[in-house]
Chains A and B, each alone.
Chain A
């Protein structure tokens, strides 16, 4: 469109032209300028002692400057500002990619050392040096997370149903507001809450898996409420009205019509909520503790969990330091795989269980 306008300008009034506005830098020229800037940065970095970091930093800064100056000279101030912002915004995205790539690479590189069968089949019972594994910790994480899900989903789902189907007025507003506020509770405070609660109930120095489950539930419930609420709101009102018109009571309408329609979204929301808490460390550190043997009874003393296991392997290595560090990084790798798998499952649920839209 702009090209058409320009050519019209050129043909009709060739004498009184804004010279600058007509000249444009082509895309290859811009890419070339940017690369020239990067090369300049590399040269500068080579002068001051070559390093990858300084090359990238100098390169990006200089390339941005080169593109800005060139555009300013050829196309004018406004276009130059536009190009400058484009460069900055793209760089911002690039900067955010650095930690993600670096983190995944580091965890893979260091974690694959012990990513073997023994890691998944052995506990740390009577292991002081090499060998051992996280069998007990993985199972402990599964038990505690399952228990937390068992507590959170009924409460969270019922609250979402209240907010969408029944709620009105001040109570609804209060619940919505405080559920939002609750999403911001620091995980360590949730852990302290569970600790204080169980200390009052069972006396000092109590450590149980269920304490961790309660702490995780405090973190999980608001996430479940928010996601379920969003999904339930999407259920078309016509379905409810059709059900009422047939004389179905409200609660059966919710159970038999609304929930089945929303089941895909609910599954996705719950899975994402599980993914959010499965890697939580701090609340489990202060409520569940850690043991070296396998304890799967959440009501009987300390349990091992994967994040706490990883933390202690890293921060309190024994004499065979490298073996401890290897186990720590492998535990971190397993944790990331677990979280990513839950995220993928959540996407699959929403794809395969979505309500059929055929009419």
Chain B
């Protein structure tokens, strides 16, 4: 050992050679990485540059004639309303699904069940729109009527009930189905990573399965579930086609979930109006897209920050 170590100073001719091939390849790899950062910056830059005419235009030139704020305001409300509704429905369901797949389902078919849930994520959003319009909306009409009759003291169910079911409530439920696989995939991962020693210790002390999950799994997976929910929220905020097909939107700001007049969402408004828009209309739509970009970027960065913080933690286990 000592013999091979003897020449401590490497002779100068043995220094690492930087071959041109190496330099080109490393440069290409690094360049691609930087290019991705540039693309993200470019998304922001090009959106801003195309949105500026709408930001600086006088209020009466904006479509609807009342200025940018009152044009985008109801859209933001509609976007948040649908996405938050989806989140409220999807998060508890996803946690349940994740627990079922990780700790309740028979071992042999658990993997298959996880795969089946993942299939929900593979279905294109336009097909969800078709399904929501043709199946879910008519199926929910009785519930709309019931809610208008019995729950109208809650502002969300003020009514009058829609007869077509093409409401924010239906949209929220379709969005919930679309983000289920996202949240449950992440929840599944963190639940399955819960330290086996903690779980076995809980069971050895006589805990039932649910007590074991309450003690050992849920505290460990909490931040993962929160991050997954945030990612799902980001997805729901930006969802376009399903909303554009189902919602009969376009009315002003209202939180009424079950009537025919709903605020549209930013993304679906763009999809519906963009093909026919001209001039300043295009700039206005791009300005609303910029708002959506900023909102989803903030939500996603927060989610990733939570995930990364958790990754630092779990190294200790």
Cβ–Cβ contact B274 & A252, under 8 A: no
The reply to whether A100 and B116 form a contact with Cβ atoms under 8 Å apart is: yes
Given A184-B234, A285-B274, A311-B245, answer yes or no on A158-B127 (Cβ-Cβ < 8 Å): no
| A90/B128 contact (C-beta < 8 A), A81-B210, A166-B26 known | no
A79 with B208: CB separation less than 8 A: yes
* Contacting pair B32 A189 (CB below 8 A): no
Judge whether B93 and A178 touch: CB under 8 Å. no
Return chain B residues, CB-CB under 8 Å to A179: 36
In the complex formed, the residue of B with least CB distance to A2 is B206
| A178 pairs with B36, CB closer than 8 A | yes
Identify B130's interface contact among A81, A162, A332, CB under 8 A.
Answer: A332
Q: How far is the CB of B250 from chain A (nearest CB, A)?
A: 14
Kindly supply a per-residue 1/0 record for chain A positions 140-175, scoring 1 wherever the CB is within 8 Å of any chain B CB and 0 otherwise: 000000000000001110110111011100011011
The A/B interface has a contact count, at CB < 8 Å, of 271
A223 at interface, CB cutoff 8 A: no
Among the 9-residue stretches B3-11, B44-52, B65-73, B154-162, the one with 4 or more Cβ atoms under 8 Å from chain A is B44-52
Q: B219 an interface residue at 8 Å Cβ cutoff?
A: no
Say yes or no: A186 contacts B292, CB within 8 Å.
yes
Binding stretch for chain B, among A28-36, A39-47, A193-201, A292-300: A193-201
- Chain A interface residue count, CB cutoff 8 Å, equals 92
Q: Is A320 an interface residue (CB 8 A)?
A: no
Residues in A whose Cβ lies below 8 Å from that of B35: 155, 159
Q: Mark B23-39, 1 if CB is under 8 A from A, else 0.
A: 01110111111111101
Q: In the complex, how many angstroms separate the beta carbon of A152 from the nearest chain B beta carbon?
A: 11
Contact in complex: B96, A89 (CB < 8 Å)? yes
A158–B32 contact, CB under 8 A?
Answer: yes
Contact A85 B210 (CB under 8 A): yes
**Within the complex, which residue of A85, A88, A193, A310 is in contact with B43, where a contact is CB–CB below 8 Å?**
A193
Question: Which residues from 266 to 282 on chain A have a C-beta closer than 8 Å to any C-beta of chain B?
Answer: 275, 278-282
B88 within 8 A of A: no
Q: Would you give the shortest CB distance from A208 to chain B, in whole angstroms?
A: 15
Find A282's partner among B139, B213, B271 (CB 8 Å cutoff): B271
Contact in complex: B135, A106 (CB < 8 Å): yes
B130 touches A328 (CB 8 A): yes
Say whether, besides A96-B93, A100-B116, A225-B36, A86 and B209 are in contact (CB < 8 Å).
yes
User: Nearest 5 A-B pairs (CB), nearest first?
Assistant: A186-B238, A279-B124, A92-B96, A251-B25, A184-B300
- A residues sitting closer than 8 Å to B (CB atoms) are 53, 78-79, 81-82, 84-86, 88-93, 95-97, 99-100, 102-103, 106-107, 110, 154-156, 158-159, 161-163, 165-167, 171-172, 174-175, 177-190, 192-193, 195-197, 199-200, 218, 221-222, 225, 249-252, 254-255, 275, 278-282, 285-286, 289, 307, 310-311, 314-315, 328-329, 332, 335-336, 339-340, 343
Which B residues contact A (CB, under 8 angstroms)? 19, 21-22, 24-26, 28-37, 39-40, 42-43, 46-47, 49-50, 92-93, 95-97, 99-101, 104-105, 113, 116-117, 119-120, 122-131, 133-136, 139, 177, 180, 184, 208-211, 213, 231, 234-235, 237-241, 244-245, 267, 270-271, 274-275, 285-286, 289, 292-293, 296-297, 299-301, 303-304, 307-308
